[in-house]
Amino acid sequence: MKKKKRADRLQVGRKLIADSNPKSIISEQFRTIRTNIKFSIPDQQIQTILVTSSIPGEGKTTNAANLGIVFAQEGKKVLIIDADMRKPTLHHTFEVFNIVGLSNVLAKHSSLHVTIQNSSIENLHIIPSGPIPPNPSELLSSKTLSEFIDEVKKEFEIVIFDAPPLLSVTDAQILSAKCDGTLFIVNSGTVQKAEVLKAKANLEAVRARILGVVLNNYKLPRNNYEYY
């Protein structure tokens, strides 16, 4: 049992490397992403950021989590929201409860402040997905989502949505149209070019603002470091 708990802590540490090893080269890359986001649109403040990918397993949740950490380390008040109401994982990443969350707020069964949880990281807060609803796309298409976004923007300086993959369901498309920008995760050696182009087209179809692409798990030939 002790070995399992130790392994679980190590696994969380690897996922949240910006916190567990802030001086690593990988953590520095997350700070570079943070800087690039700030300067991607010089004449507009980026407050709401959607993180998504083409297919499952590309590392979008890990990227969303570490991006939130580096913004929090800068002193920003940050909120990360698990908007994947089909296969949520953010609560595992941050080891928080997933009893109430986004689905409860959008269904008007709970208030915003009841769903916000503190993380172990200063300035960083979490809203898990909540119970898996039968109609995630319909909840995201409702007027309640716009009201929810307006409310969290008043409370937090940076709001990051961890969304489902673009080619699986329409949820990320719906959210991307309402966020200031979208960060597109592409996992090196996993996703096909055609899938990336189709996912990009899906974002463009709803006029989402693509802030940039993160090439995940790319191994540099010189020093064999993996970039996230």
- CA–CA gap between residue 142 and residue 126 (Å, rounded): 22
Residues in the chain with pLDDT values less than 50:
2-10, 13, 227-228
pLDDT digits over 160-171, tens only?
999 999 999 999
Looking at residue 189, its pLDDT comes to 84
Alpha helices (H) in 74-162, listed in sequence order? 90-94, 102-106, 112-115, 136-141, 143-155
pTM comes to 0.90
- CA–CA gap between residue 221 and residue 178 (Å, rounded): 39
Looking at residue 221, its pLDDT comes to 64
Looking at residue 40, its pLDDT comes to 84
pLDDT digits over 171-197, tens only?
999 999 999 999 999 998 889 999 999
| CATH code: domain of residue 217 | 3.40.50.300
Domain that holds residue 172: 2-227
Distances from the Cα of 30 to the Cα of 175, 183, 200, angstroms: 23, 12, 22
Which of 11, 159, 190 is CA-nearest to residue 77?
159
- CA–CA gap between residue 161 and residue 80 (Å, rounded): 6
Looking at residue 4, its pLDDT comes to 47
Structural domain count of the chain = 1
Distances from the Cα of 183 to the Cα of 16, 49, 84, 211, angstroms: 18, 7, 15, 6
User: Which position has the token pair 């179809």?
Assistant: 205
